[in-house]
Structure 1
Amino acid sequence: MCAARASACCALAVRDLAEVPVWGYVGRTLSGVVTGDGWLRLVSEREDRAGKKLWEGPRMAQEALPHSVPRPALREIHDWVADGWRYRAELYEYTSASVVSRSPVLDTEVDLPDSWWTDLSSALGTLAAVPTDRVGVREEYIQRAVPEYTGRTVGAITWSTAHGDFHWANLTSPQLLVLDWEGWGRAPYGFDAALLHLYALLAPGTAGHVRKALAPILDRPEARVAELTVCAQVLQAADRTAFYAALADPVRHYLNQRHSPQSSGTSL
């Protein structure tokens, strides 16, 4: 990956300025600042697996999403294959804004400006209306996982467009930018709002702020399936991921408080 990053810098005519590049999940990505006010993200996949949904997500987001959905601009892409691996170098504009949290799950309270919350609500509303045939969350998964892990029935699903991984490590402050557009696509209505809220349950003050700011989304009956789906995802992964394990009990409490067992109607 380090050698491939050096090759990418040469191909894109930039110089690597990252003293300590940022590794992604299981070493799949390697990112860092480069000259020209740029941020270079290198992605790798085995040659026989590349080109699927996650591979094309950032490029398709750059092409399909309006500028009113705040995100770093994707300037250029460089692809190549070497030794059975396919690489993609994505050159983004650099932002000095910091992620709200290093972990997807927020475990300390954060103080964000009013403008951040306004921009958040606006971005989610705009994104939800973007037409796409990309699949962010599969219906087959929802129909299987929600009853298995939450004990609730699914009921009717209203679909809209979502980022799909809208957690605290993918949002910046004090300026709101939304990072990591690999998995965006169709999901149950309110999915991003539900994920952000539930991932803040360990910081009750911030969770309450999310609930208030995004009440026009989360209080709609259509958001019920999104909440149940996020709960199922957390509970399914709780035995293998530390931050999900910490979130599991608050999620179970939320389920019992907000959604009656076996309910197929509106959340309480």
Structure 2
Amino acid sequence: MTMSDEPASQREWLTSQLLAAARHVNGTVTGQQVFGWHDRTLGARIDTTDGPRWLRVTSEHHRWAGADSWTGTSDATGAAFACVPKPALIEVREWPVGEHRVRAELMDYVSDPAIAEDMVLRRPVDLSHEWWTALAQGLAAVTRVRDTKRVIIGDDVLRHRLLAAFGVDIDTGRLDWSCAHGDLHWGNLTAPTPWMLDWEHWGWAPSGYDAAVLYCASLLQPDTAEQVHERFADRLDTYSGRIAQLAAITKLLCRVEDGDHLDLARPLHQHAATVLRHL
């Protein structure tokens, strides 16, 4: 069996793989199916004899299966992540389908809903002081992870990307680096408990990268953006933090180029101009 480029066929194909994965773990799909960006992934609640679980499937051509994004969830386990608020991984299964490989990940089920349907915040949210404190503690725990070779964006790629986008040649020698979630936006955070979802892309990045992505994803809600800045000013208002913001801006502008979040383009460019003035 091969995958079609047609979106409807892709969804149908992923749904069939989700159902197959559920049978593998003796579960029944009972929750709403949630497709990831450009239908790359599909997840849903399943009910098992051990209680509710979250089951997620993805697929890649066998040549690319095994890259960092393929193993991100299983790499984000162990003692180093004990203090990170993330669903526990229970089991991983893989199988071939034609030239493709399917990966299914069974995780603890989180009942708290995601704050937004996608990465960008488009409505006001009322998050408690305890929520922000727990998020900050979780992100601090991620930055303490050291034993990995995973990289979200390396120094050469970062330098070339920002030179192309903004005409600025950054001094990579001044950068501080730490591990980050890598895709920390409002569709990957829950409330009232701030669980961090979707660990495909975590790894090394300029310090402050997670706060930068969250800030940029908040620009359509200035009050929330200000809260993000206030909570993480110690990371954002540094040379590394400002470079991280420019990197986050390029990440989101790539989505705009693909036709997503068009209403975010102007605020992103305006924020980039502000950041560049303070470099």
Normalising by the residue count of structure 2, what TM-score does the alignment of the two structures yield? 0.88
1:28 pairs, out of 20, 32, 40, with 40
1:5 pairs, out of 18, 32, 41, with 18
Are 2:69 and 1:54 equivalent residues in the alignment?
A: yes
Tell me how far 1:85 sits from its aligned partner: 1.7
Are 2:164 and 1:148 equivalent residues in the alignment?
A: yes
Q: How many residues align?
A: 260
Runs of 4+ in 1 over 4 A off after TM superposition: none
RMSD: 1.6
* Preserved CA contact (<8 Å) 2:175 2:240: yes
Are 2:261 and 1:248 equivalent residues in the alignment?
A: no
Residue of structure 1 in register with 2:3 after alignment: none
Are 2:275 and 1:258 equivalent residues in the alignment?
A: yes
Q: Which amino acid aligns with 2:250?
A: A
2:252 pairs, out of 234, 243, 261, with 234
Q: Which amino acid aligns with 2:151?
A: V
Residue of structure 1 in register with 2:196 after alignment: 178
1:39 pairs, out of 43, 54, 70, with 54
C-alpha separation in 2, matches of 1:82 and 1:17: 25
Per-residue CA deviation, residues 34-63 of structure 1 (Å, 9 max, x unaligned), is 112101101111122211111110000023
* Preserved CA contact (<8 Å) 2:188 2:197: yes
1:76 pairs, out of 91, 96, 108, with 91
C-alpha separation in 2, matches of 1:234 and 1:89: 28
Give unpaired runs (5+ residues) of structure 1: 261-266
Give unpaired runs (5+ residues) of structure 2: 1-13
Higher relative contact order (CA 8 A, sep 6+): 1
- Give SS of 1:173's match: coil
C-alpha separation in 2, matches of 1:30 and 1:234: 22
Per-residue CA deviation, residues 161-198 of structure 1 (Å, 9 max, x unaligned), is 01111111000011000000000000011000111011
C-alpha separation in 1, matches of 2:54 and 2:244: 33
C-alpha separation in 1, matches of 2:254 and 2:170: 16
C-alpha separation in 2, matches of 1:3 and 1:103: 24
Tell me how far 1:64 sits from its aligned partner: 5.8
Task: Name whichever of 72-81 and 132-141 sits farther off.
Answer: 132-141
Residue of structure 1 in register with 2:7 after alignment: none
Identity of aligned residues (%): 34
C-alpha separation in 1, matches of 2:38 and 2:119: 16
* Preserved CA contact (<8 Å) 1:37 1:94: yes
Are 2:121 and 1:103 equivalent residues in the alignment?
A: no
- Counting only pairs closer than 5 Å after superposition, residues 119-130 of structure 1 correspond to structure 2 as 119-130=134-145
